[in-house]
Structure 1
Amino acid sequence: MTITITAFERSPDGGRGLARDTRVRWALEEVGQPYEVRLVSFRAMKEPAHLALHPFGQIPTYEEGDLALFETGAIILHIAQRHAGLLPDDANARARAITWMFAAVNTVEPPILELEAARLLEGDKPWHDERLPLVEDRVRNRLNQLSARLGDTDWLDGAFSAGDLMMVSVLLRLKSSGILDEYPNLAAYLVRGETRPAYKRAFAAQLAVNTGKPPTG
């Protein structure tokens, strides 16, 4: 059965890999599964056909036969459980990898998204200058904890897993902030994720949508 995912017709980030379809593309590339992409406009995302797939009118969605999924964590967990390459065979290691998936989106990502909103959407608010350092401190608190746990290892729990895929995808949102530079081991961890061949293919495919140029390499 053909796998079809949805992505922005024109991504707000201009193809820098921050749109969440990149996470799903990366997972499919890691497990070697071909897929098709249906591009949707912001207008189409709010229309009944797309809302039937994603009740909150967002991307990405995942369709395979009569299965339709939304939410990147759920989609990537489904891919990882169905295809080898993203979850360990050992039951306990598998459970830990899934735990890191949840930690990425539930614990680490929320303060990062709050920081993005504070910087991009709240700059004209009278309380912005006072609030921003508090938001940055919440991000640093999570990064302190994550950095301590990662230590000098390459990945979060042994070999690369879906947990690392999700965590790297979350940390990518900090790449232009400068904050990640304060944590050399996390910065190196991010680079290891970005240099994986599967990530490079996913990034190139997402960038090609926004530049109109076919991916190379």
Structure 2
Amino acid sequence: MTPTITAFASSPDRGAGLSRDMRVRWAFEEVGQSYNVRLVTFQQMKEPAHLALQPFGQIPTYEDGDLALFETGSILLHIAETHPGLLPDDADARARAITWMFAAVGTVEPPILELQTAKFAEGQESWREQRMPLVLDRIRVRLAELARRLGESEWLDGAFSAADIMMVHVLLRVKPSGLLDEFANLAAYCARAQARPAYQRAFAAQLAVATGG
């Protein structure tokens, strides 16, 4: 069967490639797996049919036969484990790649999401201006740590893997702030990933939804 994922019918990012279904699209493109997309509105995301797939009312979800998954980390890991090319064959290298997937969403992404909350959800609060430098500094700490570990390496750990899909997409969410440009090796890392044909195909597919193309 062809897997089906859900995505925003009208994405808040207006086709910038920041919506989390981009991670799943990219993984599918890397492994050459065709997939279907079911677009859902914000109202549909809170209705019983969608909540049965994603109890928190978010996207994306993944369905393949009787299997239904949510959370991009879980979905990417499943794709990588059932298709060659996104996880190393060596057991130790495979474990390290999975560790980096967890690090992307568990360690690097949280302060980046805090910035989005500060800018949008809390944008009108009187204490926003005082809080913002603290939020930016927390992101800088994480980016500096990651930049130091990446060094001059092309990818996180040897060959390109699902870990790089997850980490790059997390980093791209902070790119509009300009913080990513403070770390030349991280900016170059993201640029290498975005130049991959699979990324370009996934981005075009997500952009087509936003533009109606």
TM band (smaller chain):
over 0.9
**1:159-213: CA deviations, max 9, x gaps?**
1011111000100101110011110000000101111110110000000001011
1-structure distance, mates of 2:131, 2:9: 34
**1:102-129: CA deviations, max 9, x gaps?**
0000000000000111122222211111
Aligned to 1:128: 128
Aligned to 2:203: 203
Query: Please, which runs of 5 or more residues in structure 2 have no aligned partner?
Result: none
Aligned to 1:96: 96
Aligned to 1:64: 64
Code of the aligned partner of 2:16: R
1-structure distance, mates of 2:77, 2:41: 26
Code of the aligned partner of 1:122: E
Aligned alpha-carbon RMSD (Å): 0.6
Is it true that 1:81 corresponds to 2:81 in the alignment? yes
Aligned with 1:37: secondary structure?
A: strand
2-structure distance, mates of 1:111, 1:37: 30
TM alignment of 1:2-151, pairs within 5 A? 2-151=2-151
2-structure distance, mates of 1:48, 1:95: 36
Query: Please, which runs of 5 or more residues in structure 1 have no aligned partner?
Result: none
2-structure distance, mates of 1:134, 1:123: 15
1-structure distance, mates of 2:40, 2:124: 31
Aligned with 1:28: secondary structure?
A: helix
Code of the aligned partner of 1:164: D
For these two proteins, the number of residue pairs brought into alignment is: 213
Q: TM-score, structure 2 length as denominator?
A: 0.99
Aligned with 1:68: secondary structure?
A: strand
Code of the aligned partner of 2:128: H
**1:28-72: CA deviations, max 9, x gaps?**
100110000001111111111111111111100000010000000
2-structure distance, mates of 1:174, 1:49: 32
Aligned with 2:176: secondary structure?
A: coil
**Identity level (%):** 72
Q: TM-score, structure 1 length as denominator?
A: 0.97
2-structure distance, mates of 1:170, 1:93: 21
